[in-house]
Amino acid sequence: MTLKASGQGTAPVEVRAPRGADTLEIDWADGHSAVYRHEVLRGFCPCAHCQGHQGPIRFLAAAPAQLEDIEEVGSYALRLSWSDGHRTGIYSFKLLRSLCCCPSCGSDDPTGRVFPR
């Protein structure tokens, strides 16, 4: 599945989730490209069910799940639907960008990090 959009700053230009892969790929408007493991995205689900109603977003280990669907939410986020039936996570572009774990973003494993809402 692929989404394409035009945007500025921290907006995605293209989002790819190759069938059978365990990653989501995002090309950002500023030229940065990021690859996110499903495990990391599912673990950082920002919904109230997973994270509570306030406080920082933390990594919560979950059973392995595959990404089944991606929906754009307004011009600020993506809703990710998982094979475990979870569909309430709305991932802001700001959160997604902060979860990038490439060397140029300064982290190789975001599972120990905590993010403000």
Specify the pLDDT at position 101.
81
Distances (CA, A) of 111 to 1, 53, 59, 97: 26, 20, 6, 14
pLDDT in tens, 42-53: 999 999 999 999
Report domain extents, the chain. Answer: 2-105
**CATH fold of the domain at 2-105:** NE0471 N-terminal domain-like (3.30.2020)
Phi, psi (rounded to 5 degrees) for 93:
-60, -35
pLDDT in tens, 48-105: 999 999 888 999 988 889 999 999 999 999 999 999 999 999 999 999 998 988 777 7
pLDDT in tens, 1-10: 445 554 456 7
